[in-house]
Structure 1
Amino acid sequence: MAEALELAKRAGDGTRPNPRVGAILVKGGKIVGAGYHRKAGLPHAEVEAIERAGIKAKGAKLFVTMEPCSTHGRTPPCTDRIVASGIREVIYGAGDVDRRNAGGAGRILARKKIRVVKGILREECEKLNEDYRHWTTKKEPWVILKLAMTMDGYLVVPGRRWVTGEAARAEVQGLRAGCDAILVGAETVRKDNPQLTVRKAFRHSAEC
């Protein structure tokens, strides 16, 4: 499952509004297929792993970070492809909080005599998609607060443009790259006239 988690992280924020998901197929103690969901509308992680495994998927175990989808969306249900491929066991980390899919995979696969194990590295798998889970269950934006402060509690140091170092500022660019919007206070606008852009080579630019 740890391998599948690392695969899921490769997608970054490109899967929105879908979750980040990684999957691997194991047969005879070896990985025979692997994949991750890259973008909404493209194949899900399970399907990508199955396609890469080919005929080796038959009789294999599928490890996937999230419960496979069981309804039609932009793509067909992953459960259909799992059944058709001959996979004998599905092990997933986090359940899907989308009501259309929640619990569906377990019921469908059980009827097809496919063993299902859930909750493996559940906390890590849930944390990977905490923004997706928050939005899906609450319909509220996922908010990240960024605060720069000196060790002795100052927000501004006279004569210095920044109170943070280069490494911290680079990390902020990474945070911005994963956000859809940036909000700042009026005083920040008046004093700093910030660009509110992603100034490093990240894939996704936030909007102010």
Structure 2
Amino acid sequence: MVGCLIVKDGKIVGEGFHPKAGQPHGEVFALRDAGDVTQNGTAYVSLKPCNHYGRTPPCTEAFIKAKVKKVVIGMVDPNPIVASKGVDRLRDAGIDVTVGVEEELCKKLNEAYIHQMLTGKPFLTLRLVKK
């Protein structure tokens, strides 16, 4: 579950989220929503931007093309394909990157995804209901 905001001059100019597998990621929707005002803006994203080609192109390249100056990341993606390559790619492109902002909240949001990435097993939740 990836959410993204693009902020410029203290105002939210774009927002997006990842609706489902195979669809563009939250970063792409936020950049589209912001339009041409992304240059020198700041992107806030709940999960580290990907830097690989899968079902969608890398979000890192979208940030670089949009000329954002800073990316604030809630948590590092536990997917081994993603590793730290996204952060490295952004920094290599001259973008200021901060990692771990509101990390515990982001981990809670992606609890099932993290479990699956770390164990290879689906996340099951059992709730006991009082009658």
TM-score bracket relative to the smaller structure: over 0.9
Tell me by how many angstroms 1:57 deviates.
0.6
Name 1:43's counterpart in structure 2: 24
Tell me by how many angstroms 1:106 deviates.
1.1
Q: Which protein has the larger Cα radius of gyration, Structure 1 or Structure 2?
A: 1
Aligned pair count reads 131
Residue 53 (structure 1) aligned with residue 34 (structure 2): yes
Name 1:127's counterpart in structure 2: 108
Alpha-carbon distance between aligned partners in 1 of 2:75 and 2:111, rounded to the nearest angstrom: 11
Of the three residues 76, 80, 89, the one matched with 1:108 is 89
Tell me by how many angstroms 1:111 deviates.
0.8
Query: Which amino acid is the alignment partner of residue 120 of structure 1?
Result: V
Tell me by how many angstroms 1:41 deviates.
1.0
Alpha-carbon distance between aligned partners in 2 of 1:144 and 1:39, rounded to the nearest angstrom: 20
Alpha-carbon distance between aligned partners in 2 of 1:98 and 1:67, rounded to the nearest angstrom: 10
Alpha-carbon distance between aligned partners in 2 of 1:25 and 1:56, rounded to the nearest angstrom: 9
Residue 22 (structure 1) aligned with residue 3 (structure 2): yes
**How many percent identity over aligned positions?**
38
Tell me by how many angstroms 1:54 deviates.
1.0
Residue 118 (structure 1) aligned with residue 118 (structure 2): no
Q: Helix, strand or coil for the counterpart of 2:29? A: helix
Alpha-carbon distance between aligned partners in 1 of 2:122 and 2:62, rounded to the nearest angstrom: 33
Of the three residues 74, 77, 81, the one matched with 1:93 is 74
Name 1:172's counterpart in structure 2: none
Alpha-carbon distance change, 141 to 39 in structure 1, aligned in 2, over 3 angstroms = closer
CA RMSD of aligned residues (A): 0.9
Q: Helix, strand or coil for the counterpart of 2:5? A: strand
Residue 139 (structure 1) aligned with residue 117 (structure 2): no
State the TM-score, normalizing by the size of structure 2: 0.97
For residues 68-117 of structure 1, the C-alpha deviation after alignment (integer angstroms, 9 at most, x for no partner) is 01101100000011100000000010100001112111110111100000
Alpha-carbon distance between aligned partners in 2 of 1:81 and 1:148, rounded to the nearest angstrom: 45
Alpha-carbon distance between aligned partners in 2 of 1:148 and 1:119, rounded to the nearest angstrom: 35
State the TM-score, normalizing by the size of structure 1: 0.62
Query: Which amino acid is the alignment partner of residue 34 of structure 2?
Result: A
For residues 170-190 of structure 1, the C-alpha deviation after alignment (integer angstroms, 9 at most, x for no partner) is xxxxxxxxxxxxxxxxxxxxx
Alpha-carbon distance between aligned partners in 1 of 2:75 and 2:108, rounded to the nearest angstrom: 9
1:124-203 equivalence runs, <5 A:
124-149=105-130, 163=131
